[in-house]
Amino acid sequence: MTTSSPTTSVPLVYEDSAFIIANKPSGLLTVPGRGPEKQDCLINRLLTSHPNSRIVHRLDQPTSGIVIVPQSYEALRHIGRQFETRQVSKRYIAVVAGIVEQDEGSVELPLICDWPNRPRQMVDWDNGKAALTHYQVLSRDSNTQQTRVALTPVTGRSHQLRVHMLALGHPILGDTLYAPEAVIAASPRLLLHAEYIGFEHPITAAPLSIESLAPF
């Protein structure tokens, strides 16, 4: 079911006693940042209506889509363990610059923080942490020279999808951190959306598959 609380303005894709699943809008932080101007975020909005909300994973501020928000310590621990052991399956939708030639493929490049330019990340074969992304072409637009892709991260490194697509030669539209100016100007927001998540219910152990279609 999909609900929306007027006090939070964050739509909920799913809700039960163990956790809720929010559909985070692009531009909203998942957790508070430093300073009073960065206190408006997903978790603080949800706490007004769901005071037991806890964070188990995050999306980048410009990325929209599905975020699981546990409602108990037990659910937090159970779902957190699934993330740690890579039992959670995720799929993102992105629109990238250029025509991706291969219908599907993988990008396996180790990533590390580009410390002088943080929060940017970069490929580093010597010191980077292993990172693997599978991609599948959904459609190609020869007129705009853009490609719509489904991205499946096996690992969960910071900015992984954005850096891997850049390394492939196809930066994501609207990516103000990594894309060249023309690609940034092609969209008013980052065209990256967490569309699907699959995991085990922390109480019933039943497999769950939740979807939230991309708004672009």
pLDDT in tens, 23-77: 999 999 999 998 888 999 999 999 999 999 999 999 999 999 999 999 999 999 9
Q: How many domains does the chain have?
A: 2
**DSSP of 36-62:** GGG--BHHHHHHHH-TT---S----TT
Q: What is the pLDDT confidence band of residue 206, given thresholds at 50, 70 and 90? A: very high
Instruction: Tell me the mean pLDDT in the region 9-17.
Output: 93
Q: Which residues contact 181 (CB under 8 A, 6 or more apart)?
A: none
Q: Which residue from 157, 86, 90 is spatially nearest to 122, judged by alpha carbons?
A: 157
**118 CA to centre of own chain:** 19
| Mean pLDDT computed over every residue of the chain | 95
> Which residues, at least 6 apart from 169, have a Cβ–Cβ distance to it below 8 Å?
98
Among this protein's residues, is 60 annotated catalytic? yes
| Residue in 123, 129, 190 with CA at minimum distance from that of residue 154 | 129
Predicted pLDDT at 7: 42
- Considering the domain architecture, whether residues 112 and 185 belong to the same structural domain is answered as yes
Identify whether residues 81 and 131 lie together within a single domain.
Answer: no
CATH classification of the domain holding 63: 3.30.2350.10
Residues 56, 106 within the same domain: no
Query: pLDDT tens for residues 161-182?
Result: 999 999 999 999 999 999 999 9
Task: Tell me which DSSP letter residue 115 carries.
Answer: G
What pLDDT is stored for residue 9 in this prediction?
74
11 and 70 together in one domain:
yes
Whether residue 216 is contained in a domain is answered as no
List the beta bridge partners of residue 64. 193
53 lies in the same domain as 15: yes
48 shares its domain with 139: no
Using CB atoms within 10 A of its CB, is residue 172 exposed (0-12), middle (13-18) or buried (19+)?
A: buried
**Range list of β-strands (E), 102-180:** 104-108, 111-113, 121-123, 132-141, 146-153
**Is residue 12 located within the same domain as residue 68?**
yes
> Choosing from 40, 60, 103, 114, which is the catalytic residue?
60
Q: Output the pLDDT for position 185.
A: 98
Of the two residues 92 and 8, the one the predictor is more confident about is 92
Percent composition of the chain: helix, strand, coil (DSSP 3-state, to 5): 20, 35, 45
Range of the domain at 25: 3-88+198-211
Angstrom distances, CA of residue 156 to CA of 5, 7, 109, 173: 30, 31, 13, 21
96 and 181 part of one domain: yes
